[in-house]
Structure formats: C-alpha cells, structure tokens
Structure 1
C-alpha cells in the first residue's frame, strides 16, 4: 500500500492528497509529527518535512511538486499539469505563485502563527504577522477571481494542479475561519466548485486537536 506522511494543515501535504485522489490512487495517510524529528522519518526525507510518499515498492518521494510530477508521469491517464508545453508552463507558474508567494504572504502569517508555533513550542502567535496575512489574502482572492473570470479553471479549461495548489492553501486558511469569502464572491464561486469535487471531501473531515474548524469549513453550500 502507498503511504503518505502528512500534516493535516500542511498545504503541501494537501496538494499531494488531492492529486492522489484525482488520479484514483489508493493510499494510507500517516500523520508525522515533524517537530519530533524521528530518525526513521529523516531516513525517508533528510529535510524532515512533509509530505513524503512511499510507493508500494518501498521507494520514498519527497517535496510536493516532485511527487506530483512523478505521479503525472507514471499515471498519465489523468493529467494534472497540462497536455501541452503552454498549459504546463502556465500551471507551473500558478503553482509557484501559491506555493511561494501566497505561502510567504498568507499561509506563514496565519497557519504557522496560529497552529505550527503551538506544536513547535515557539511561543505565542505574532499579532502583527497575523494582521499582515489577513490584509494580503485579499490580493490573492482578487487574482483568483480574475483568473476564473477569464478561464473555466485557473490555468485553463481543465481542472488541474493550479486549482489544487490554490485550494490547498486556502483550505488551510479556511479551517481557521480567516478567508473573507463574503468580500470576494467570484473567488468563492471558484472555491465552491473545487470544494464540491469528490477528491476534496476527505479534507473536510480533518481536525486538529484542540482547534475545531468553523461550521462553514465542511459545508459545501457555505
């Protein structure tokens, strides 16, 4: 059985979970407490980060983009990165936007401050960082709205990795109740379409101990 080591509110783990589900591949989820730095886990990924996917033959693969690229090559029946050079370039550009820019400006300032610091024992959340994250998320929601107005999905006509990456980050923020959906209805319409996909539903059952999500998190018609 394929194994995926993950953290529930890791957007990079969620990206791989969604990709595996979209491709119809079976896997077992294992929560990894990365702050414990288990030698067995470090042997799989010396960087000590999730996600790590271990294939049925025992070979480990680390880094969310490397894993999804691997899956798209080995299981090409359901392409997530595009069917031609132009669409693949645009998909990779948008994935980088969310995994780098959105992550630095929003995810780190909200999820890291509110959740990860607690588990790493790094003290109280930085209210200034949280304020910055809440201010900057609107820019990204406007960009999602702009893209979804011009295209059926973020990178083009087909649902793919750009949508998965964006939704993976936003779903973590949504778990905290920090996405101002009412102020960004066009981005919300796109997210509702993503949220209603069968691949997304297991994420809606995630729970972090001592931090329950708001009611709308699991509501498909929020």
Structure 2
C-alpha cells in the first residue's frame, strides 16, 4: 500500500490527499515534520519537503506534489482531474501553479511559519505585521477566485479539476490558521462549501495540529 509522508497542515499534501480521495486510492498516512530535517526523510527527499509517497512493495518513490498528481493522472483512469482539450489542460495546470506558488508565497506560507512552525518548533510568538500582510493578500487572492467563479462552474472550467483541489488545499490551511475573512467573497465561499461536503474532504476537516486551534467555523460545512 502507498504511504504518504505529510503533516496535517501541509497544503501540498492536502492536494494529494484530495486527489487520492477523488480517485479512490488507498494509502496510509505517515506523520513527518519537515522542519526537523530527519535524516531518514532527507535521504528519501533531499529537498526535505512533504509530500513524499512510497510503495515499498513495488520499490516506488514519488516526490513533489505536482509530480505525484501527474503520476496518478497517468496511471489511474478514474476521476480525471487534468481533463478536456489541450487548452483546458493547460489552464488547469496554470491555476495549479498559481495556487501552489503565488497563493502559497503570499498567504499560506507566511501564515504557516508565523502561526504554526514558530510555535511548534521554536516556541516563539508570531509577527503581527506578517499576519496582517498575509491576510490582506488573502483578500486579493479570493477576489481572483471570485472572478474565476463568476465565469466558470469550477475554477478550471466546467468540471472539478486539480485546480480546485490545489486551491481548496491552500485555502483550507489558511482558513484553519484564521487567515481568511469570508465577508464579501460569497462566490468562493459557495464553491468552498461544495468542496467541503465531498467525501474526499471530510478527513481533512477532522484533523488538528498540536498547539494550533482552528476557528469555530473551520469544520462547519455550512459556515
């Protein structure tokens, strides 16, 4: 069976967990704290980042969330998430890159460091200025998802795609960390409520990161 090395608030691991859930692929979670730079984990992935997927029985090792997603898209026919015409697929990949890089750089990454890693790994308080800037950036990004959803049923087009899973993974972590003001973003909130209702999403909502408590609305599908 596949093993997925991750920690509860890793947005890239969440993207893969949502993908695996949609495709009905079984796996075992293995807790990994990449900031600890554990030797055995760095031996698997010299970048020292989650997620990493391992199938020891087949001697398979997959590294990097986009590479992992592409692997399962190529090897599992069920529930394609990079689909449609070549132009459609290019747009899905563009949006996945947007959320994995721009959203993470501006919003999720700073919040994770300030509100989670600083507390868990260093016992330090967050920087209020960084938190304010990240929350302002979240508003700008949600304005963009509102725009996309004004013109499309799903972020990447007419059907659920990897773009939706990548966006939901980043947004869910940001929401857990109290970084999203949902007022004025009804389009995105409606889309997110739909995703939170899917069976693939429910396991994520029940998990908690030690020393970091989400806001009351976090696991409420009808927030």
TM range (shorter): over 0.9
Superposition misfits of 4+ residues, deviation over 6 angstroms? none
TM-fit CA distance, 1:13: 0.7
Task: Name the counterpart of 2:63.
Answer: 62
Paired residue secondary structure (1:198): coil
Q: CA RMSD in A?
A: 1.4
Q: More relative contact order in 1 or in 2 (CA 8 Å, sep 6+)?
A: 2
TM-fit CA distance, 1:122: 7.9
TM-fit CA distance, 1:103: 0.8
Task: Name the counterpart of 1:13.
Answer: 13
| Distance across 1 between alignment mates of 2:166 and 2:104 | 10
Task: Name the counterpart of 1:212.
Answer: 213
Paired residue secondary structure (1:43): helix
| Distance across 1 between alignment mates of 2:185 and 2:133 | 18
| Distance across 1 between alignment mates of 2:46 and 2:123 | 22
| Distance across 1 between alignment mates of 2:179 and 2:38 | 32
User: So what's the TM-score if we normalise by structure 2?
Assistant: 0.95
User: So what's the TM-score if we normalise by structure 1?
Assistant: 0.95
| Distance across 1 between alignment mates of 2:84 and 2:59 | 30
| Distance across 1 between alignment mates of 2:123 and 2:46 | 22
Task: Name the counterpart of 1:186.
Answer: 187
Task: Name the counterpart of 2:196.
Answer: 195
> Retained in 1: the 8 A contact 2:22–2:200?
yes
Paired residue secondary structure (1:40): helix
Task: Name the counterpart of 1:151.
Answer: 152
1:1-222, aligned counterparts within 5 Å?
1-55=1-55, 56-121=57-122, 123-222=124-223
Render the CA deviation track for 1:49-97: whole Å, top value 9, x for unaligned. Answer: 1000112413111110010001100112221112321111000110111
Paired residue secondary structure (2:29): strand
* Structure 1: 5+ residue stretches without partners: none
> Retained in 2: the 8 A contact 1:5–1:29?
yes
Tell me how many residue pairs correspond in the alignment: 222
| Distance across 2 between alignment mates of 1:28 and 1:170 | 24
TM-fit CA distance, 1:110: 1.5
Pair 1:212–1:119, CA change in 2 (3 A): closer
Paired residue secondary structure (1:183): coil
> Retained in 2: the 8 A contact 1:106–1:137?
yes
With 2-11 and 179-188 compared, the bigger mean Cα shift is at 179-188
Paired residue secondary structure (1:218): coil
With 134-143 and 123-132 compared, the bigger mean Cα shift is at 123-132
* Structure 2: 5+ residue stretches without partners: none
> Retained in 2: the 8 A contact 1:109–1:132?
no
